[in-house]
């Protein structure tokens, strides 16, 4: 999956913020967060207590991820569409 595909399928603007609307129990959705994290120039590992998945580069483990309903948003406003 490419970044453009991920943007079209999973990232929607809600309430003025871009939100990833995937499901962390879905392997396909998890793979999408790996694609985004690998392409993100702002990605930084979160503190150990906030890591969701050990040893995986994914938006779920990023210090700039903020949980939102129904997914999460990025405090660095990535991805830029």
What's the rounded Cα separation, in Å, for the pair 57 and 68? 20
CA atoms within 13 A on the CB side of 73: 14
Q: What is the pLDDT of residues 23-38, one digit of tens each?
A: 888 999 999 999 999 9
pTM for the whole structure: 0.88
Helices 27-39/3-10 angle, 10° precision = 120
Domain positions in the chain: 3-74
Q: What is the mean pLDDT of residues 46-66?
A: 94
pLDDT of residue 79: 73
């Amino acid at each position: 999956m490419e970044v453009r595909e991920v943007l079209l399928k999973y990232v929607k603007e809600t309430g003025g913020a871009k939100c990833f609307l995937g499901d962390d129990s879905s392997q396909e959705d998890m793979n999408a967060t790996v694609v985004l994290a690998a392409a993100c120039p702002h990605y930084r590992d979160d503190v150990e207590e906030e890591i969701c998945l050990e040893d995986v580069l994914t938006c779920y483990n990023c210090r700039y991820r903020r949980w939102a309903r129904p997914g999460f948003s990025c405090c660095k406003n990535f991805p830029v569409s």
